Amino acid sequence: MASEITSDAPVVREAIFGGNVQTVLSSPKIEPPPATLEEARSAPGRAEKIEALTRMIEDRGIKYVFFQQVSITGRVMGKGVVSSFFPQVAERGYQLVYGATANLFTDRSGNYIGFGPEESELAAIADLDTFAVLPWDERVARVFCDCYDTETGELLDADPRQNLKRIADAFEQELGYHFMIGIEPETMWLRKPQNGEIPEGVTKPYCYHIHQFEELRPVLLDVVSYGQALGLDMSYGDHEDAPGQLELNFRFDRPLRTADNITTYRQVCAAVGRKHDVLPTWMPKPFTGVSANGHHHHFTLVDDDGHNVFHDPDGPAQLSDLARHFLGGMLEHFGALMCVGNPTVNSYCRMWDTGFWAPIYKNWGWQNRTTTVRVATGGRFEYRGVDSSCNPYLTTAALLEAGLDGVRRQLDPGPPQQGNTYDLLAQGVEIERVPESLGAALNALAKDEVIKSAMPGRLYKVFDWYKRDEWERYLAAVTDWERDEYLEVLP
């Protein structure tokens, strides 16, 4: 059961599965969070929602509640409380050091990333509409939170979740349309390595083979069961072409819900992994010579009646002018978008181990899976320049800002690419390549004020600090490859 709370409705309602665009449009629009901490605490109807949830907690015998926030890298952070303490925390919020937005990790110099221990604490306020019971242990529930700055009382600019709420709302207000997005989460299921063993996939890297899918059936069915219990409207699934790699998709939704769904899906997979003693990994490229874990973003824009305003059957690649300008914005900000969507050192192994349809070049095409932006049927974009290590709150916000810049400036993406990218390169056609490393991508992001505006204030500061430290630690690390290559380099 998925939970949706209103002051005059039951606390828990049945999720609607098999939905469509109209289903999404009929769902409540996600408003930006209250501007201040006190406004959040005293929001109309909040006390009644807390009272209704408290009754449900008592009726269902829930013993513990996780109040969770999302860090800049997409990790789930937060605090848990015993159920008797729920009303107080739901009303006032809980406090954590600012550094929780960066996982409370230290950099290579021993400094806490983003914020020192001398700084104040954030206040995390529960988004009560996201309250849900965990199906793998119904004594436990969780609720997402938005973060505020206790120094100023304003929204904490280093919190990616409420930042996406704000950016998505501003985007839709300006254009007057509804942005809908779905993400294809690829996950590799590995046998848990013991005593330093090299990890292995549970299955062979055979794409679309039902037998390999069957090998993971107990895992898959638990993921479906838990996911549906948490409101994920799941659809297509298949075995992809990497060891133990499954993809299981769910319905398009509003930006914030899709990002929350991805976070929920990752938590579901982690719980199923614990149950079956296997390891789900979102490392982009665990193995050389096979495909990586992509995280392709599919999206479109619709009006109040559900008509796709990106679609024009007579336009180039069946795109409207609005869609072409949005696409022009994505291409204009290609390098910075790649940094946000591929935010780890390992992400760029996906770009160098070629031959597996990774998005390596600045290009777009109609139904062309060798391009970074693929136009699917009916004016739907598939942005392929994203891997499984991404933070979906940041990637979605960045895409919205890039597209909006293209619309405002009426940027022309040029004609769609015809033919296979690699064949064209062999013929001598020049196409701009993806940044070659995390370091190069961070430099591209640093120069792009539009994409940085999707991470305002300290959100960009913390992201850049965290990721530059990651890059520098990698540059300083001696690897097995280097020992194999150079240990006996002379005489």
Same domain, 141 and 187: no
Mean pLDDT value across residues 410-427 = 88
pLDDT band at 7 (very low <50, low <70, confident <90, very high): very low
In this model, does residue 16 exceed pLDDT 80?
no
In this model, does residue 10 exceed pLDDT 60?
no
Percent residues over pLDDT 90 in the chain: 83
Bridge partner residues of 299 (DSSP): 181, 381
Q: What is the CATH number of the domain that holds 19?
A: 3.10.20.70
Q: How many CA atoms lie within 13 A of 56 on its CB side?
A: 22
Last residue of a domain, one of 158, 185, 205: 158
In this model, does residue 8 exceed pLDDT 70?
no
Q: How many CA atoms lie within 13 A of 448 on its CB side?
A: 29
Same domain, 13 and 98: yes
Same domain, 244 and 383: yes
Same domain, 318 and 238: yes
| pLDDT tens readout for residues 182-230 | 999 999 999 998 888 889 999 999 999 999 989 999 999 999 999 999 9
Residue among 320, 327, 324, 266 at smallest CA distance from 293: 266
Same domain, 95 and 230: no
pLDDT band at 179 (very low <50, low <70, confident <90, very high): very high
For residues 370 and 273, what is the distance between their CA atoms, to the nearest angstrom? 33
Q: Torsion angle of alpha carbons 128, 130, 131, 133, nearest 10°?
A: 180
Same domain, 461 and 332: yes
User: Could you tell me if residue 262 is inside a domain?
Assistant: yes
Range with lowest mean pLDDT among 22-31, 40-49, 87-96, 387-396: 22-31
| pLDDT tens readout for residues 269-314 | 999 999 999 999 999 999 999 999 999 999 999 999 999 999 999 9
- The residues, ordered by sequence, that sit 6+ positions from 307 with a Cβ below 8 Å of its Cβ are none
Same domain, 211 and 270: yes
pLDDT at 6: 40
In this model, does residue 115 exceed pLDDT 80?
yes
Same domain, 126 and 199: no
pLDDT at 289: 93
Residue with tokens 């206040």: 123
User: Could you tell me if residue 325 is inside a domain?
Assistant: yes
Q: Which two tokens stand for residue 337?
A: 């978008």
In this model, does residue 242 exceed pLDDT 90?
yes
> Total domain count for the chain?
2
For residues 26 and 395, what is the distance between their CA atoms, to the nearest angstrom? 25
Same domain, 197 and 116: no
pTM for the structure as a whole:
0.94
Same domain, 196 and 145: no
User: Could you tell me if residue 484 is inside a domain?
Assistant: no
In this model, does residue 158 exceed pLDDT 80?
yes
Q: Are 222 and 272 in contact (CB under 8 A)?
A: yes
pLDDT at 422: 80
Same domain, 183 and 133: no
Domain extent for 290:
175-474
User: Could you tell me if residue 187 is inside a domain?
Assistant: yes
Range with lowest mean pLDDT among 70-84, 283-297, 366-380, 385-399: 366-380
Last residue of a domain, one of 128, 158, 188: 158
Compute the mean pLDDT over every residue in the chain, rounded to the nearest whole number: 93
In this model, does residue 5 exceed pLDDT 50?
no
Q: Are 74 and 63 in contact (CB under 8 A)?
A: no
Q: Which two tokens stand for residue 475?
A: 């540059």
| pLDDT tens readout for residues 306-365 | 999 999 999 999 999 999 999 999 999 999 999 999 999 999 999 998 777 788 899 999
User: Could you tell me if residue 167 is inside a domain?
Assistant: no
pLDDT band at 116 (very low <50, low <70, confident <90, very high): confident
pLDDT band at 9 (very low <50, low <70, confident <90, very high): very low
User: Could you tell me if residue 113 is inside a domain?
Assistant: yes
Q: What is the CATH number of the domain that holds 413?
A: 3.30.590.10
For residues 7 and 44, what is the distance between their CA atoms, to the nearest angstrom? 9
DSSP type of residue 379: G
Mean pLDDT value across residues 410-431 = 88
pLDDT band at 14 (very low <50, low <70, confident <90, very high): low
3-state secondary structure of 211: helix
- The residues, ordered by sequence, that sit 6+ positions from 4 with a Cβ below 8 Å of its Cβ are 12, 13, 28, 129
For residues 202 and 213, what is the distance between their CA atoms, to the nearest angstrom? 10
pLDDT band at 15 (very low <50, low <70, confident <90, very high): low
Range with lowest mean pLDDT among 121-130, 133-142, 363-372: 363-372
In this model, does residue 169 exceed pLDDT 90?
yes
User: Could you tell me if residue 487 is inside a domain?
Assistant: no
User: Could you tell me if residue 486 is inside a domain?
Assistant: no
| pLDDT tens readout for residues 57-81 | 999 999 999 999 999 999 999 999 9
Same domain, 125 and 181: no
